[in-house]
Amino acid sequence: MQNNNNINSFATVTASYWAFMLTDGALRMLVLLHFHELGVSAIQLAYIFLIYEFMGIITNFSGGFLAKRFGLASTLYLGLILQILALTLLALLPTNLSLFSMLSYAIFTQAISGIAKDLTKTSAKACVKILSPKNKDDQLFKWIAKLTGSKNAIKGFGFFLGCALISNVGFSAGLVILGGLLLIILLLLVMFLPLNLPAGTKSVKINDVISSDRRVKLLALARSLLFGARDTWFVVGIPLFFIEILSNGSNVDNKYAFFFIGSFMAVWTIFYGLVQAWAPSFFKNISEKNLVQYSVYWLFVLILSTVLLAITSLIVSSASSPTSIYVIVIGLFVFGGIFAVNSSLHSFLILYFTSPERAPLDVGFYYMSNAAGRLVGTFLSGASYQLGGFTLCLFLSAFLLIFSFFPTVLLNKNN
């Protein structure tokens, strides 16, 4: 009976997390494409998302503490409410403001959205550790892989949804639709609140967030560099690369470019999520302890593939033709598959290293590092694209992955 209750609770939490990530992916594309149409530069686009990632650092530091202090249900509710607020405020963006004022307004709403995302994510990931069967690490790996993989697949649909909304109903109307969808999910979550989630613990202190486990610290550092490497090409670089090649600035060409961008980012993220969910099957006969060693092998493969992709981009991008897109797209899907395995291993290891009692705190600390890496990657994505185009984005991505290799090796030695 207890196991069935845990499964039902897991399903309820997962459904709310899916809905949130759908709106999160759609919101990112709506903001990116809307402000690009307004003439915002690559580095200015990066500024909009920098505050999103910065607030992720702050939220993950305090989110684990809040979840432990006030209960996981409270932080789940708060995350959804803040995302609805961010969508509503952005939908009300005045059109008669200066570009600087509109950018400032958008940055403010992204700050709220960044807080919302990481409150929701920290709560959902901690729930997996708490609800998973005790002393069954293979089940833990499967549960976390399913949650993380499905989340990324749903976010991929969100990218496509955002592009479809801005092309067909416009920026503000698209945001209203997303806000309405999330409001319905929030009401359903209130109705079907999991009863077996832990309540708050008043004795927890804010400095308890910093983990004393060296393994958690090394994994957090490796994670920050891993996701910084991905976002260096993903956030600003690849959408602008596609627009530069596919559009001459006309409305017709922009719609075609937006559709291509949305389709690529959706399919890539869905593919990435499916590989994440599939990863436990690949490591079916490997002990949990040996998964740390395999994380070293898979990261090395990712570094090698990224270096080769950067060199390939240097060769083909000078052609500035649609043909170069196909070569880059194939390379990015190879990157995505290998990256997904690395990410899935990390997502398991953080929960493998922590205890049910410390899960909200260690998960919050871990994703604080993740957000720090994405903050750096977001800035590098805009800056490197503006300075050297998409090829420079890829070379910097490879550089960050090389740095991620060192804490991963140390983690293997300390296991």
Query: Quick check: is 201 in a domain?
Result: no
Separation CA 306–CA 243 (nearest Å):
22
d(CA 213, CA 120): 24
Q: How many CA atoms lie within 13 A of 148 on its CB side?
A: 29
13, 55, 186, 299, 364 from 18: Cα distances, Å: 9, 21, 12, 28, 19
State the pLDDT at residue 1.
47
Cβ contact 227:381 at 8 Å: no
Q: Look at residue 286 and tell me if it is in a domain.
A: yes
Give a yes or no: residue 202 inside a domain.
no
Per-residue pLDDT, 210 = 66
Q: Please tell me the predicted confidence (pLDDT) of residue 4.
A: 55
Domain that holds residue 98: 2-193+209-414
Torsion, Cα of 304, 244, 232, 275 (10° steps): -60
Q: Provide φ and ψ at 273, rounded to 5°.
A: -65, -40
Q: What do you get for the CA distance between the two ends of the chain, in Å?
A: 35
Count of domains forming the chain: 1
- Answer whether residue 199 is part of any domain: no
The reply to whether 129 falls in a domain is yes
Please tell me the distance from the alpha carbon of residue 153 to that of residue 236, in angstroms, as a whole number.
20
Contact 147, 125 (CB under 8 A): yes
Is 204 part of any domain? no
Residue 79 lies in a domain: yes
Helix (H) or strand (E) holding 302: helix 290-316
Q: What is the pLDDT along the chain (415 residues), one digit of tens a residue?
A: 445 555 666 677 777 888 888 999 999 999 988 888 888 888 888 888 888 888 878 877 766 566 666 667 778 888 899 999 999 999 998 878 888 898 889 999 999 998 898 888 777 767 666 666 555 555 666 767 777 777 778 888 898 899 889 888 989 999 999 999 999 988 888 877 655 555 555 555 555 566 667 888 899 999 999 999 999 999 889 988 888 888 776 777 777 888 888 889 889 988 988 888 888 777 776 666 687 888 999 999 999 999 999 999 988 876 556 677 888 999 999 999 999 999 989 888 887 887 766 776 777 788 788 888 998 998 999 899 999 999 999 999 999 999 999 999 998 776 6
CATH code, domain carrying 184? 1.20.1250.20
Domain membership flag for residue 31: yes
Q: How many CB atoms lie within 10 A of CB 390?
A: 24
